[in-house]
């Protein structure tokens, strides 16, 4: 990557996250609003995986495509990413998620109205808030959700670091986004049941903020025992945990091995 300004980096993070969320949320909207006639669990997971890959292709040449506050924080803690850029990156990512949700809603507005007759519902029959942000299964406790999000994001960041580590068996640069997309698809197919695998605060908070102003109201933050903070805090913890685990068990060994050669 050449030398870039912070403004260029923030625009890239905004557009990359926008790309990720617009395709991901639309994959859910298509299934829910058609009542399962145009897809299902598999298509949603595949949609999110490909959405991540496309987002990385969009922003990768400028920032490396964080597209996720958990990734940004992990890189600041473990990789020397400038702390002064953390909050601006987070804001750009969240705004990208918000804007993407608005685009999906505008595009599918008539389908929403046909589905719920204009009454925006958060939980239960005809609920549509879950198209945008994640909500837990009825059996899931807050602690269980926190564990779920921490584990899922730790796996995400751990494997991403392995994929992009040139000292490891890294794929070519042009293939890495697709491999990362497959990773997200895999997480969805294995850890998607409890609460929809947000594993990204911007992917959840940006769309949730849109539903706040888009007709669903303040209950999007109070629903499910104030669930909203779990897909924010869990991923931030998990990202640092995943990066630290990779460094301690693999990365540090690769550093020693490369220095010994």
pLDDT 10s digits, 10-45: 999 999 999 999 999 999 999 999 999 999 999 999
Tokens 């998990």 label which residue? 238
Q: What is the distance between the alpha carbons of residues 224 and 171, in angstroms, rounded to a whole number?
A: 41
Q: What's residue 2's pLDDT? A: 58
Return all residues near 77 (Cβ < 8 A) that are at least 6 apart. 240, 243, 244
**Does the predicted TM-score (pTM) go above 0.75?**
yes
Question: Is residue 1 assigned to a domain?
Answer: no
Q: What's residue 34's pLDDT? A: 98
Output the tens digit of pLDDT for each of the chain's 261 residues: 458 999 999 999 999 999 999 999 999 999 999 999 999 999 999 999 999 999 999 999 999 999 999 999 999 999 999 999 999 999 999 999 999 999 999 999 999 999 999 999 999 989 999 999 999 999 999 999 999 999 999 999 999 999 999 999 888 889 999 999 999 999 999 999 999 999 999 999 999 999 999 999 999 999 999 999 999 999 999 999 999 999 999 988 887 765 555
Q: What's residue 172's pLDDT? A: 87
Question: Is residue 124 assigned to a domain?
Answer: yes
* Contact assessment for residue 206 and residue 101, using Cβ atoms and an 8 Å cutoff: yes
Question: Is residue 226 assigned to a domain?
Answer: yes
The torsion angles phi and psi of 108, rounded to 5 degrees, stand at -105, 15
Question: Is residue 239 assigned to a domain?
Answer: yes
Tokens 């999007």 label which residue? 220
Q: What's residue 260's pLDDT? A: 55
Other CB atoms within 10 A of residue 35 CB = 9
Dihedral sign, Cα of residue 39, residue 224, residue 111, residue 58:
negative
Element holding 239 (H helix, E strand): helix 230-246
* CATH, residue 185: 1.20.1080.10
Q: What's residue 255's pLDDT? A: 75
> Within 13 Å, how many C-alpha atoms sit on residue 134's CB side?
31
Which value, to the nearest 10 degrees, does the dihedral of the CA atoms of residues 77, 78, 80, 81 take?
-60
* Contact assessment for residue 66 and residue 60, using Cβ atoms and an 8 Å cutoff: no
Q: What is the distance between the alpha carbons of residues 70 and 241, in angstroms, rounded to a whole number?
A: 10
Beta bridge mates, 121: 127
Q: What's residue 200's pLDDT? A: 98
Question: Is residue 180 assigned to a domain?
Answer: yes
Q: What is the distance between the alpha carbons of residues 109 and 111, in angstroms, rounded to a whole number?
A: 5
Range of the domain at 32: 6-260
Return all residues near 94 (Cβ < 8 A) that are at least 6 apart. 17, 69, 201, 202, 205, 206, 209
Q: What is the distance between the alpha carbons of residues 19 and 153, in angstroms, rounded to a whole number?
A: 20
Q: What is the distance between the alpha carbons of residues 259 and 127, in angstroms, rounded to a whole number?
A: 56
Q: Is 175 helix (H, G, I), strand (E, B) or coil?
A: coil
Q: What's residue 261's pLDDT? A: 56
* Contact assessment for residue 49 and residue 41, using Cβ atoms and an 8 Å cutoff: no
Number of domains in the chain: 1
Question: Is residue 96 assigned to a domain?
Answer: yes
């Amino acid at each position: 990557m050449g030398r870039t300004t912070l403004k260029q980096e923030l625009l890239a993070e905004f557009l990359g996250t926008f790309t990720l969320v617009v395709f991901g949320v639309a994959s859910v909207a298509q299934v829910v609003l058609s009542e399962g006639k145009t897809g299902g669990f598999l298509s949603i997971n595949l949609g999110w995986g490909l959405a991540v890959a496309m987002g990385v292709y969009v922003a990768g040449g400028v920032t490396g495509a964080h597209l996720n506050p958990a990734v940004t924080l992990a890189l600041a803690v473990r990789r020397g990413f400038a702390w002064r850029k953390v909050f601006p990156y987070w804001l750009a990512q969240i705004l990208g998620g918000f804007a993407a949700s608005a685009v999906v809603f505008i595009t599918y507005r008539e389908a929403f109205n046909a589905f719920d007759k204009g009454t925006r519902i958060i939980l239960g029959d005809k609920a549509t808030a879950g198209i945008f942000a994640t909500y837990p299964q009825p059996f899931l406790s807050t602690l269980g959700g926190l564990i779920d999000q921490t584990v899922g994001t730790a796996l995400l960041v751990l494997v991403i670091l392995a994929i992009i580590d040139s000292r490891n068996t890294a794929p070519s640069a042009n293939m890495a986004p697709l491999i990362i997309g497959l990773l997200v698809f895999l997480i969805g197919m294995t850890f998607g049941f409890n609460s929809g695998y947000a594993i990204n605060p911007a992917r959840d908070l940006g769309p949730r903020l849109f539903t706040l102003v888009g007709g669903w109201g303040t209950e999007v933050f109070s629903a499910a025992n104030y669930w909203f903070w779990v897909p924010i805090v869990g991923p931030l913890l998990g990202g640092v945990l995943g990066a630290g685990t990779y460094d301690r068990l693999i990365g540090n060994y690769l550093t020693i091995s490369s220095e010994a050669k």
